[in-house]
Amino acid sequence: MTIDVSYTKALFKSMKDLNKKFICEGNADVLAKDEELLKLSYEAGCIEWTVGFESLNQQTLNGVHKKTNKIEDYALVVEKIHKYKMAVLGNFIFGFDQDNPDVFEIAQEDIIKLGLDSARFAILTPYPGTPLFKKLEAEGRILTRDWSKYNRKNVVFEPKNMSKEDLQNGFIKVSSNINSIPNLICRDFRSLKLGFHPFLATVGRNVENYLNTPRK
């Protein structure tokens, strides 16, 4: 919803009196600076924004050419979305070539500080036919062609700066810690201040994240 902002704003204005409740997805750079968009989305009935933060390492983001993301904007994105009484779901990926074993502890600390309402995690997955798959295949780093494992929860390639086990175990640790029952309950109750529908969205997301969290 942040690719063609002019169109999105016009859409939100036309939806204002429809009494709908919905969830949007957007890029961090636009959400950090365009309060009019956030205000219009709230008035149209948006109860949650899903944001692909992807990584908490600027070097990683630069390496994958994620130009829409600046680490220094992350806290501002969450603050502004909350200002307009909407919840925030953050998406994160582990396994980029710039990641090393320290990435998991750093990410866990920073995600807690951000004050997200829910957080979802994935292992970088090189789907067949993508440039990433072709790159890793050319480098001899594809470990399996069992496509059932290409589910964003299994390591299917050889990481560059850590072992396969480091990536798998670090992913499980962060996912299970952030989406533990005590942490989920805390985030659920905190989201009450956003209103009834954002609270429901947060509870639903957190239940989904808990059920989908891999465990040893």
pTM of structure: 0.94
Whole-angstrom distance, CA of residue 66 vs CA of residue 75: 17
Contact 154, 123 (CB under 8 A): yes
Whole-angstrom distance, CA of residue 172 vs CA of residue 133: 23
The enclosing H or E element of 91 equals strand 87-94
| Residue 2 belongs to some domain of the structure | no
Q: Is the pLDDT of residue 215 over 80?
A: no
| Confidence grade of residue 66 (pLDDT, cut at 50, 70, 90) | confident
Whole-angstrom distance, CA of residue 179 vs CA of residue 112: 11
| Residue 15 belongs to some domain of the structure | no
pLDDT value of residue 216: 66
| Residue 36 belongs to some domain of the structure | yes
| Residue 34 belongs to some domain of the structure | yes
What is the total count of domains within the chain?
Answer: 1
| Residue 10 belongs to some domain of the structure | no
**Mind giving me the DSSP string for 35-55?**
HHHHHHHHHHTEEEEEEEEE-
Q: Sign (positive/negative) of CA torsion 53, 55, 61, 66?
A: negative
| Residue 11 belongs to some domain of the structure | no
Structural domain containing residue 98: 20-212
pLDDT value of residue 196: 98
Whole-angstrom distance, CA of residue 204 vs CA of residue 192: 13
Whole-angstrom distance, CA of residue 137 vs CA of residue 34: 40
The enclosing H or E element of 164 equals helix 164-178
pLDDT value of residue 72: 92
Whole-angstrom distance, CA of residue 106 vs CA of residue 103: 5
Pair of tokens at residue 127? 């789907």
pLDDT tens profile 26-62: 999 999 999 999 999 999 999 999 999 999 988 889 8
Q: Which CATH number belongs to the domain containing residue 156 in this structure? A: 3.30.750.200
Q: How far apart are the first and last CA of the chain?
A: 37
| Residue 69 belongs to some domain of the structure | yes
